[in-house]
A and B are shown apart, each in its own frame.
Chain A
Amino acid sequence: MQNMKDTFYITLRDRISAINPARLVLVRGESRPAVVVEENELPSSFDHNETYVLRWTETKLDTGGPLPLVVMRCEIRYETAGNFGNGGMDRGRILSVMDAELAAAINTSPQRAAKTNFANTAAMQTNIFWSDVAFAPEQTINERLSRTVTVEVFSYQEAGER
């Protein structure tokens, strides 16, 4: 399951970076593509503004086939306060751009990637694959607009894989 989570994150991060190289976030003094996995970061807060934050929620295991099929739900949350130079009046436009970039990264074919074990950077025998994004209604919290989208990610559990 961990390999599936890692592969999905790296694939999404690289696709977002290719679509918009300027979408960056500063984490502990280093600039990197603005896609982070909540559970891999320090519990202390950092600025989530205009950053895709991944959270893994539900997990299902279907053992009916020759290989167990793992289905995990990934929630991706992002928010924006708009551009300070514009008094935040462009926050709706920025959120729309973030919607479009995420949809392009996830819904573009192929919706699969070769599963990789990043502990030893070895490609595995199966792929991960995922559904289209499902957009939840946008929410307004103070001056910030936010949205959560969900994606179902699938992977066959290989022998010896955890």
Chain B
Amino acid sequence: MATAVTAVSALQGALAAEDAAIFGYGVAGAHLSGSHQNAAEQDWTGHNQARDTLTAMITARGAVPAPAQAAYKLPFRVHDEASAMELAAYLEDGVARAYLGLVAVTDKQLRTFGATAMQGPAQRAAYWRGSTQAFPGLVS
């Protein structure tokens, strides 16, 4: 029998995705320059702010936010500007997918929060990829 997604587990999923993105932007940023590096710095800051928001939301529900890992496995080797941009898009896709998990919970406010929060990563993924997607966070 399928288990309903709980609010805390969905929030923890989003937090884990934000932590992974923060780590990943650290790697990507080292291979970017100019406007791309500025964009990566802005995105890194945004993910840090989102992590703080999620941490507070989990704590407010009486749970303990899962700590970030010291390092995360990257999906491919990042060695130049192109692969760094590809990594940034990959990270944003993952964050959008994690917020979409919040949209499946029964709490209406959390649903709305998740749906609104996933728009930022979807827009950033489109920036890094150079094209939009029909179904961010879902299998097309």
Q: Do A and B come from one complex?
A: no
Chain A residues near B (Cβ < 8 Å) = none
